[in-house]
Amino acid sequence: MNARVAVFNGIPGTFSIDTVEIPPLKPGEVLVKVRACSLCKSDLHTSMGRRNEPTPTILGHEIVGEVVSFSPQTESSSPFIAFNNTELQVGDRISWSITAGCTNCENCIGDLPQKCSTVHKYGHTKMDTHAPLAGGLASHVILHPHTFIYKIPNSLPDQLACLANCSTATAYAVCEKVPSFQDKSVLIFGAGLLGLTCSAMAKVRGASSITIIDPNQESRIRAKFFGADRTLEHFDQSNTYDVVLELSGAHDACQTSVNACNTNAHLIFAGAVAPINSVYINPEMIVRRLLTIHGVHNYHPTFLGPAIEFLVANLTNFPFSRLIHSNYYLNEIETAVKVADQLPGTRIVIVPSAEDALTGE
């Protein structure tokens, strides 16, 4: 049985479409057929040369798939259980945590499996014998042991389910760092998927007002549909806020974020996933304003479940379908990446073609 893969070899903007043999599954592994994979900004940073990842690699981690088979050792011992407490069966539609930990290192024991010392990270792993099919820009993915797997409810279409991993789950991780949004003023830097999803979550959690800053007019217009009460092109220094979320990764936004904080505010950094220049922060301001500052990277694997539930519960409250721009086939990946890199605030989704399906038989 073969898989079709789009391999990134480190040359910006270029991929090779290859056919590779699917190896026998090792104990605890699951073979999944990819139904859809959206292009995250981190995929674009890597494929356009702005971020370094080990190569060759198969990018893509915002994936929805269908269970094809379990390792024989797993089938003969105990069934796989999805983390929404249902037994997994062949044919089930699933998504899974962006990371899989070892369960034994200090971080895993300390309940930080997303920061495992030997973490397996889908879409960010070198393609080798240890991880031959680890990214969503392929017809198939092999899930590692200790991956948190979730069934996708029938009410959630593939394209929207892709958003759960990672933008919705990361948004949930960001919002969990804030003790309460109830009656709080919120400022969000960045109206990308992460910013819009955090805005929607903050609104559901009772924020009194939500302001989103983004230089792109189209993104600011879109933000109005995801809970934003006010949108700005630039930071207005006359106002400060109870909760500040830096989700753009832009240098100026990171520099400005502390100045935007009220006394006793919570400031969360989650946008800077690619290198930027250092910023200057005055420690006296942190001390005198009693600020709480957190960084969020990846998310705890258990957050994917609530992320899926959030999307299902709010399908009619927020127009998540507006966040999907278009679909491309795997063999169109170079065009898809170039288009996606010019699209602020929306996703392009890679879907299987008839050729991909035939290759996997």
User: Cα dist. 129→25, 147, 170, 251 in Å?
Assistant: 12, 18, 29, 38
21-35, 65-79, 310-324, 328-342: least confident range: 65-79
- Tokens encoding 83: 């983390």
Q: What is the pLDDT of residues 31-73, one digit of tens each?
A: 999 999 999 988 999 999 998 889 999 999 999 999 999 988 6
Average pLDDT over residues 259-271: 97
Average pLDDT over residues 184-190: 98
pLDDT at 356 over 80: no
DSSP 207-266: -SEEEEE-S-HHHHHHHGGGT-SEEESS--TT--EEEEEE-S--HHHHHHHGGGEEEEEE
Cα–Cα nearest to 349, from 333, 153, 204, 199: 333
- Tokens encoding 274: 């690619």
Q: Where are the domains of the chain?
A: 2-166+318-359, 178-295
DSSP 255-306: HHHGGGEEEEEEEEE----S--------HHHHHHTT-EEEE--S--GGGHHH
Strongest mean pLDDT among 24-28, 47-51, 200-204, 271-275: 200-204
Percent of the residues in the chain that have a pLDDT greater than 90, as a whole number? 84
Average pLDDT over residues 240-269: 96
Could you say which architecture CATH assigns to the domain 2-166+318-359?
Answer: Alpha-Beta Complex (3.90)
Q: What is the pLDDT of residues 93-117, one digit of tens each?
A: 999 999 999 999 999 999 999 999 9
Q: What is the pLDDT of residues 191-249, one digit of tens each?
A: 999 999 999 999 999 999 999 999 999 999 999 999 999 999 999 888 999 999 999 99
The fold adopted by the segment(s) 178-295 is Rossmann fold (3.40.50)
157 by DSSP, 3-state: which? coil
Answer whether 0.85 is exceeded by the pTM: yes
- 128 half-sphere exposure, CB direction, 13 A CA radius: 7
Partnered with residue 126 across adjacent β-strands are: 57
| pLDDT for the residue 249 | 92
Cα–Cα nearest to 253, from 284, 222, 238, 232: 232
The rounded distance, in Å, linking the Cα atoms of 89 and 149 is 12
Average pLDDT over residues 241-263: 96
pLDDT at 9 over 90: yes
- Tokens encoding 171: 């948004």
Cα–Cα nearest to 98, from 47, 8, 19, 163: 163
The rounded distance, in Å, linking the Cα atoms of 184 and 136 is 38
* Contact in structure between 160 and 321 (CB atoms under 8 Å): yes
Partnered with residue 55 across adjacent β-strands are: none
- Tokens encoding 224: 């109005």
| pLDDT for the residue 130 | 87
Q: What does pLDDT average to over the chain?
A: 93
